[in-house]
Amino acid sequence: MKKNILLLTLSSSLLLLSCSGGSSSSENVIGGKLVAPVDDSIYFGTFPDFGGSEEFVSVERIEAFENLVEKKIAWAAFSQNWYNGVVYPKEKIDAIRESGVVPYVRLMPRSDEIQGHAEVTFNMQNIIDGMFDDDLKRWAIEAKSDASPLLVDFAVEPNGDWFSWSGTFNGAGELDGYGDPTYPDGPERYRDAYRHIIDIFNAEGVTNITWFFHFNLASLPNVEWNQPKYYYPGDDYIDWIGFSAYGAQTITEEWAGLEFSTQLQENYEHILEMQSQNPLAVLEFGVTDYHPDGNKSIWLDDAFSTILSNPYVSFKAINPWHENWENEDETLTTIRLDSSDETLSTVKKWIANERFISELNFK
């Protein structure tokens, strides 16, 4: 997600009646990879407002979200920020499992949450060179010992120009600084760093992790070297592919042209360029409320209807983003699904569709 500044996460006092119960998404599952749902079903996961740093995980927040939308979630996503150590976040993972939900861990190799600069410590070259191998091996061993399924991705949205791990800050489109002289250095370093991590986990015999590759639907800068196909580690490493697609995130950002359907129409060919057989997920999407030029509910209507109609690609999972934050100019970004009564009503209408399911299938 392209955030200007993560200063303050806002909570909502709105809480609806408890959603109906259901069996655990991870019940009786040991190990295995997440497989696509059968027929035209679509998994329903979310980021249930775990705070601005995306790591304040609790059973209470998961239950509050499920009560709010009156639907069980299949997974709960949170970030494991490496500025807190490259360590297995067992307490957070256990809390999510206690809720009957599968944990989705976002590995975030950063020293701080400030965007728009290069990373000194956790940069892609240092990962490739093995500087964190011991920590990653311990992570892998602990994950394996848990013997329950985990969903994991690494360094989200690398084809954007905001996070420190993006290709922009790791060699960009240069050809002579690293690796293959015909391959852009920034994406190549990201690809090889991700491969290096998965190689470590495979060497430890970890079989209970499903690996996601998470890019931004629109590449920024939108130039050839920065397209997602160059970042993709390949089907030999990755199990699922997913992307972020946001509308306007502030009331001053342009509204027109950022509709979900428009973004997909303009960029779906870049998804196909990866030539992958893996299932596809929308791993982040949303738009701010109270924009002078557009209506959030209409934007969400467009997003959900596009996802269900599969006009260019077939979607197998969604993960709407549920968070508000204050920007540097003191304006609010209101991505939460209850930012207004109208928005919440729209979300509930769509996710009540029987195609959105809360039970994950593993093999």
What is the distance between the alpha carbons of residues 356 and 43, in angstroms, rounded to a whole number?
6
At residue 29, the pLDDT reads 45
Say whether the peptide bond before residue 221 is cis (omega within 30 degrees of 0): yes
pLDDT at 1: 59
Pairing between β-strand 240-246 and β-strand 209-216 as defined by DSSP bridges: parallel
Asked whether the predicted pLDDT for residue 71 surpasses 80, the reply is yes
SS3 per residue for 29-63:
CCCCCEECCCCCCEEECEEECCCCCCCCCCHHHHH
Distance of CA 20 to the CA centre of its chain: 26
The pLDDT, as a whole number, for residue 20 is 37
Confidence of residue 315 (pLDDT cuts 50, 70, 90): very high
Q: Alpha-carbon distance 2 to 126, whole Å?
A: 24
pLDDT at residue 328, as a whole number: 87
Mean pLDDT (whole number) for 90-106: 98
3 pLDDT higher than 60: no
Residue 30's pLDDT is 53
Question: What stretches of the chain show up as alpha helix (H) in DSSP?
Answer: 59-69, 90-98, 124-128, 133-146, 185-203, 228-231, 260-272, 296-309, 341-351
- Its pTM stands at 0.93
d(CA 90, CA 98): 12
25, pLDDT greater than 50:
no
Residue 274 corresponds to which tokens in the numbers above? 């990866």
Average pLDDT over residues 201-230: 98
CB 305 within 8 A of CB 33: no
Measured in degrees and rounded to the nearest 5, phi and psi for residue 66 equal -65, -40
Which pLDDT value is given to residue 27? 43
- Please give the average per-residue pLDDT across 57-67, as a whole number: 98
Look at strands 34-35 and 361-362 and give their pairing: antiparallel
Number of other CB atoms surrounding residue 342 within 10 Å: 14
Instruction: Give the rounded percent of residues in the chain with a pLDDT score beyond 90.
Output: 90
User: With 50 as the cut, is the pLDDT of residue 347 above it?
Assistant: yes
* Per-residue confidence (pLDDT) for residue 31, from 0 to 100: 62
Integer Cα distance of 122 and 108 in angstroms: 9
Q: Which residues face 357 on adjacent strands?
A: 43
Per-residue pLDDT, 13: 35
Cα separation of 168 and 160, whole Å? 8
> pLDDT by residue (tens digit) across 169-206?
999 999 999 999 999 999 999 999 999 999 999 999 99
In the predicted structure, residue 324 carries a pLDDT above the cut 80 = yes
The rounded Cα 130 to chain-centroid distance in angstroms is 25
Q: Which domains does the chain have, with CATH numbers?
A: 34-362 (3.20.20.80)
Burial category of 329 from C-beta neighbours within 10 Å (exposed 0-12, middle 13-18, buried 19 and up): exposed
pLDDT digits (tens, 9 = 90+) for 273-312: 999 999 999 999 999 999 999 999 999 999 999 999 988 9
Residues paired with residue 151 on neighbouring β-strands, in sequence order: 104, 210
Q: Report CA 333 to chain centroid distance, whole Å.
A: 18
Taking the mean position of all CA atoms in its chain, how far away is CA 301? 21
Residue 238 has pLDDT above 70, yes or no: yes
Mean pLDDT of 136-151: 97
Of the pLDDT bands very low, low, confident and very high (cuts 50, 70, 90), residue 5 is: very low
* CA gap 218, 324 in Å, rounded: 22
Rounded to an integer, the average pLDDT of 60-67 is 98
For residue 8, is pLDDT > 90? no
Q: What is the mean pLDDT of the chain?
A: 93
Mean pLDDT of 344-363: 98
pLDDT at 15 over 60: no
Q: What is the Cα–Cα distance from 173 to 186, expressed in whole angstroms?
A: 6
Give me the pLDDT at residue 2, please.
54
